[in-house]
Amino acid sequence: TLLRHILPNAWGPVAVLATLDFGAAILATAGLSFLGFGAEPPAAEWGTLIANGRHFLMTAPWVSLLPGLFVVAIVFSFNHIARTLEEIQR
């Protein structure tokens, strides 16, 4: 009865929470790498790119703004997907 009753009704909330958590994980990873607690320097992470570009904000603001905009766009996209999944459930 687990496969027939519980799992079909549980997949929707689990999918919504997983999608929301994926956006939160991206924010956490970007924040930690911005602070210097991310991957080692040869690896490109969005937080590291933002942190390295903060010295050039007056002369070349796109160096920090583009990775920051991508982080915002990706997190908003995952939140929109989660909201859409939640609406489909209802």
Q: Residue-wise pLDDT tens for the chain (90 aa)?
A: 777 778 878 888 888 899 999 999 999 999 999 999 988 878 889 999 999 998 898 999 999 999 999 999 999 999 999 999 888 887
Model pTM greater than 0.85?
A: no
For 4-26, write each residue's pLDDT tens digit: 778 878 888 888 899 999 999 99
Q: Over the range 15-35, which residues count as b (16 or more CB within 10 Å of their CB) and which as e?
A: bbeebbeebeebbebbeebbe
